[in-house]
Amino acid sequence: MPVPTLHWFIPFAILFAVALAASLLSVPLAAKFAWKVGGVDRPSKRRINKVPIPRMGGIAVFVGIGMAAIVYTFGTECLGWTRVFRPLPEMQVNYWLVASGTAMIFATGLVDDIKSLRPTQKLMGQVLAAIFAASGGLMIGNIVNPFGGGEIDLGWVSYPITVIYMVAFMNIINLIDGLDGLAGGITVISCLTMFGLSVMSGRLDAAMTAIVTAGATLGFLKYNFHPAKIFLGDSGSLLLGFMLSAISLMNVTRVAGVTTMLIPLVIALVPITDTLAAIVRRERGHVSIMAPDKGHIHHRLLQDGFDQRTAVVFIYLWTMLLCLGAVVMTQVGMYRRIAVFALLFIASFFVARKLSLFTPVLKHRDKSKDDEHGGK
C-alpha cells in the first residue's frame, strides 16, 4: 500500500461525512419500516426499555456504508481518487466477495429482527458471511515467528481460523449491545483507533473501511444514545461485528505479526471480556451458554447504581484506555508489547471480577428472545 499524504485525507473526510449524513437521514425511515414489519422491542422483565422501541437501526448503518461505497466509486472513476480497494501483489483480496459477505450478514440480522431466527439459523448466516470474506482472500495468512526468523505457514487452517474469528467478533458486538448507545459507541471508538493505526501502517483499504464504518455508526448514534428512539437490532450489531473483524483482517492478511494480531483483541477487550465472563457465568450456573441473563457489564453497572448514561460513558472510557494501550503497543518493542497486552488483560479481568461478571444469575433456562437491550 502507498504511504498516505495530506491529499489522501480529503477522500477520507468526504466519505466519513457521506456515511454519517446518509445514516442520519435514514434512521427515521428505518424506524418507520421497523414499526410496519413488527421489528420492535417491547418491554419485558429482562429488557431495560420501558416502552416499545423499533430495533432495526442496522438499516441506517448499512445505508450509510452503501452510500459511501457509491461515492467512493464515483470519486475513483470521475475525480481521480486513488483506488484503495484493489488487489496488490502482496495482498490478493476480492473485495466483491467481502462486500457480498457484508450484505449477507446484514440480511441475516434483518430477517432475525423481523422473524426471530433460531440460534442455529442465525449462526449459519454468520458462518456463510465469514466464508464469503475468507474466500475473497480476507483471512489470517502466515504468522511471523516471534521467537526466530521466518514465517509459520498456517496452510488450509487459515480458513477455519478466519471464519471462527469473524463469527466470534459478530457475537461479541451482538452481546454487548445492551444499553442505549453502547455497541455503537464502542464501534466508533474502535474504528477511529483502527483508522489511525491503519493509516500509520499504510493499509488504506482498512483505513477507508474504518472511517466509513465510524461515520455510518456515528450518524445512527444521534438517535440511539439515551433515551434511544431506535435500537441497532441484530441487523446492526452483527453488521458492526462483521465490519470490525474485516477491518482487523485487512491489517493481517497474508502475513500477521504478533502486534497486528494482538491489537484488535486489545481494542475489543471490553466486549471480549464480557463474552468470556458470560460463558463462565452460565457454565457455573449450569445453564446453556446461549441462555440470556442480566449479568453483563451494563447490567452490573446499573445494579451498582449507575444510570444508563453514566454506565455507557464508563464503558466508553474503559474502551478508550484500551485503545490508547493498543497505540502504545505499536510504539514499543515486542516484549514490551506483550507486557502491555498482559497488563491490560489482567486489569480488565479484575474489573470484570469486581463487577461480579463471573457470578451466575440464572437458575433456569428461558427460551424467549431477549437478545436486545437487557436480555443477552
CB 231, CB 55: distance < 8 Å: yes
Per the prediction, the chain carries an average pLDDT of 85
When pLDDT is averaged across residues 87-93 and rounded to a whole number, the result is: 63
Over the stretch 112-130, which tens digit does the pLDDT of each residue have? 999 989 989 999 999 999 9
Mean pLDDT on 249-257: 64
Instruction: Give the pLDDT of residue 364.
Output: 42
pLDDT attached to residue 354: 87
Amino acid occupying residue 101: G
Residues forming beta bridges with residue 143, ordered by sequence position: 152, 256
The answer to whether residue 91 scores a pLDDT higher than 70 is no
Tell me the pTM.
0.87
Q: Distance (Å, rounded) from C-alpha 282 to C-alpha 288?
A: 6
Q: Which residues, listed in sequence order, are joined to residue 152 by a DSSP beta bridge?
A: 143
Q: If DSSP codes are grouped into helix, strand and coil, which group holds residue 6?
A: helix
pLDDT tens, position by position, 266-277: 888 888 888 888
Q: Are 220 and 232 in contact (CB under 8 A)?
A: yes
CB 67 within 8 A of CB 105: no
pLDDT tens per residue across span 138-169: 887 666 655 566 666 677 788 898 999 999 99
227 cis-preceded (ω within 30 degrees of 0)? yes
- State the average pLDDT over residues 344-351: 89
3-state DSSP assignment of residue 228: coil
Which residue matches cell numbers 426499555?
49
d(CA 274, CA 52): 26
DSSP secondary structure of 133-181? HHHTT-SB-EEE-TTSSSEE--GGGHHHHHHHHHHHHHHHHHHH--STT
- Closest Cα to residue 246, out of 72, 85, 376? 85
Please tell me the distance from the alpha carbon of residue 194 to that of residue 207, in angstroms, as a whole number: 7
- Which are the contacts of 46, defined by CB distance < 8 A and separation ≥ 6? 292, 293, 294, 366, 370, 374, 375
- Look at residue 358 in the predicted model and tell me its pLDDT: 83
> How many Å from the N-terminal Cα to the C-terminal Cα in the chain?
40
User: Any alpha helices (H) in 177-257, and if so which ranges?
Assistant: 182-201, 204-224, 233-250
Distance CA 321, CA 315 (A): 10
Give the model confidence (pLDDT) of 179-196 as tens digits. 889 999 999 999 999 999
Confidence band of 4 (pLDDT split at 50, 70, 90)? low
